[in-house]
Amino acid sequence: MNVAILMSRTQLGVQAPPVTIEVFLSGGLPTFSIVGLPETAVRESKDRVRGAIISSGFQFPQGRITVNLGPADLRKTGGRFDLPIALGILGASRLVPLQALDSTEFYGELALNGEIRPVSGTLPASLHAASAGHAVVVPRANGVEASLSSAEVFLADSLLQVSAHLAGTQRADTLRHSPPPVLPASAPDMCEVRGQPLARRAMEVAAAGEHNILMIGPPGTGKSMLARRLPGILPPMSEAEALETASIDSILGRELDLSLWRQRPFRAPHHTASAAALVGGGSDPRPGEASRAHNGVLFLDELPEFSRHVLEVLREPMETGSLTISRVGRQAEFPARFQLVAAMNPCPCGYLGDVAGDCRCSADRVANYRGKISGPLLDRVDILVTVPRPPKDCLRPDAPLAESSAVVAERVRCARELQLARAGASNARISSRELEAVCDATAECWELLERAVDRFALSARAHHRVRRVARTIADLAGEKRVAAPHMAEALALRQLL
């Protein structure tokens, strides 16, 4: 019996557990069976592998072919195993030498003519391969993505070309690992937002401490404008964060835009989006918008228009920073640590409390509208700011421009660096215990907070959130100790004064 063994990996959330492809050839009646893959995937893979081997000009073996993808209890996804299966058959038939392959992994879907098609999830697979000290052979179209990892990357175009590479007659192209350059932020600039000093300040504080923020105001006052400018004032992602976020797009089979490397993602799902679109799902679990916003911003515009159920499902990632999708027989976990930015009108017509507008919404309708946003969600919002209609004169074309994103981003960067140096995470992300350690405050400050707790019956969580925001405000001011003015501003930013 002739045997060939190759390595690859499957996809499980952002994990990529190893899979061994064992091919056995023996005499007897011709049969071709693959064990360890779901049934339909097996059928399709067999057809592609046979077609590709024959059209590449190789003889398809006559006897029994048994392919085992192990471990058996691990769920495996589709086309990526075509290439190692085909190479295993060629290797076991002694048509292609397969020596010294114990440190190379193979990925690629075959077309019937032997060409190699791109597959999803090459980035997480390559990252895992790299930490195992393995090289990867990936479809050419996935090469750039794979080379973001430190694995040695060989580019595969066709079964014939990979065979020639293994036979040593023609070496496959390789890609060198080099981190992509970080280009200037592509988000629109803060200087275009006129007036709104309070909301701009709220965005700056939110950016500095990674706080969740809700903006309330009448139509056309700049809420969506402000939200879209948040990524432009946030500090860039670390290389590790950028790889995590890019892994999500890789799993979804999306081409990475390297001109945005290390820029924080900004996802703005429409309010008609389903819960599955938002948090992910499907029988073959796929990440949703909340995961695509990982390490960046999830913007929910027109918050009360989202269904209550959709908002409820966001509680899990907001608390844990990740999402678990459970399906019969398996569980996939995707990271989803995003900063929530939400915007809404004060009432269904939008003009409640506006100086010029006349709102005719009944108290019931207003209560119903606001009631759509559940208490637990509001409890997870650190900053709540009103965005009123800006005074006319600040909209004049000759009115002085406001500060640019670059200037604000620099203050945000300094404040964030203080937080990272002190506790290793932003103020919104540190544990309550760490908060106790870093939130050294004056006696006057505590008195202010206690008065607010009494007056507004603050929950313990809300109490912590105010302290986190106060800590961030002190960081923006470069102060070691949280003082009364910082606490007062934090309370004002939750409309608790």
Chain positions contacting ligand ATP, by CB under 6 A: 193-196, 217, 219-225, 343, 345, 390
d(CA 154, CA 139): 8
The reply to whether omega before 180 is within 30° of 0 (cis) is no
Picked from Zn ion, Mg ion, ligand ATP, none, the partner binding residue 361 (CB below 5 to 8 A depending on kind) is: Zn ion
Chain centre to alpha carbon of residue 368: 33
d(CA 491, CA 484): 10
Which of 48, 223 has the CB closer to ligand ATP? 223
**Min. distance of Cβ 288 from Mg ion in angstroms?**
22
Which of 347, 448 has the CB closer to Zn ion? 347
From residue 194 to residue 223, the character string flagging contacts with Mg ion as x (rule: CB under 5 A) and all else as - is -----------------------------x
332-369 exposure pattern, b = at least 16 Cβ within 10 A, e = fewer: bbbbbbbbbbbbbbbbbbbbbebeeeebebeeeebeeb
Which of 124, 195 has the CB closer to ligand ATP? 195
CB contact at 8 A, 294 and 338: yes
d(CA 142, CA 33): 29
d(CA 267, CA 72): 37
Which of 218, 317 has the CB closer to Mg ion? 218
**Min. distance of Cβ 346 from Zn ion in angstroms?**
7
**Min. distance of Cβ 353 from Zn ion in angstroms?**
9
d(CA 50, CA 42): 12
Which of 233, 349 has the CB closer to Zn ion? 349
Binding residue for Mg ion (CB under 5 A) from 66, 77, 224, 442?
224
Listed residue (222, 264, 377) closest to 315, CA to CA: 377
**Min. distance of Cβ 130 from ligand ATP in angstroms?**
43
Listed residue (373, 108, 90) closest to 216, CA to CA: 373
Which of 131, 495 has the CB closer to ligand ATP? 495
**Min. distance of Cβ 298 from ligand ATP in angstroms?**
16
**Min. distance of Cβ 221 from Mg ion in angstroms?**
9
Which of 343, 418 has the CB closer to ligand ATP? 343
Let me know how long the chain is.
Answer: 497
**Min. distance of Cβ 150 from Mg ion in angstroms?**
42
Residue nearest to Mg ion (CB): 224
Q: Where are the alpha helices (DSSP H) in 363-404?
A: 363-371, 375-379
Interacting residues toward Zn ion by CB under 5 A: 347, 349, 352, 359, 361
Question: Which DSSP string corresponds to 77-126?
Answer: -SGGGHHHHHHHHHHHTTSS--TT-TTEEE--EEPTTSBEE--S-HHHHH
d(CA 206, CA 9): 40
SS3 state at 36: coil
d(CA 57, CA 407): 63
Q: Per CB under 5 A, does 77 bind Mg ion?
A: no
Picked from Mg ion, Zn ion, ligand ATP, none, the partner binding residue 193 (CB below 5 to 8 A depending on kind) is: ligand ATP
Do strands 330-335 and 322-327 pair parallel, antiparallel, or not at all (unpaired)?
antiparallel
Listed residue (321, 373, 358) closest to 215, CA to CA: 373
Which of 18, 350 has the CB closer to Mg ion? 350
**Min. distance of Cβ 215 from Zn ion in angstroms?**
17
**Min. distance of Cβ 357 from Zn ion in angstroms?**
8
Chain centre to alpha carbon of residue 157: 30
d(CA 483, CA 337): 30
**Min. distance of Cβ 98 from ligand ATP in angstroms?**
60
Picked from Zn ion, ligand ATP, Mg ion, none, the partner binding residue 347 (CB below 5 to 8 A depending on kind) is: Zn ion
Which of 218, 265 has the CB closer to ligand ATP? 218
Which of 224, 374 has the CB closer to Mg ion? 224
Picked from ligand ATP, Mg ion, Zn ion, none, the partner binding residue 426 (CB below 5 to 8 A depending on kind) is: none
Picked from Mg ion, ligand ATP, Zn ion, none, the partner binding residue 352 (CB below 5 to 8 A depending on kind) is: Zn ion
d(CA 438, CA 444): 17
Q: How many CA atoms lie within 13 A of 102 on its CB side?
A: 1
Which of 226, 237 has the CB closer to Mg ion? 226
**Min. distance of Cβ 361 from Zn ion in angstroms?**
3
Which chain residues interact with Mg ion by CB under 5 A? 223-224
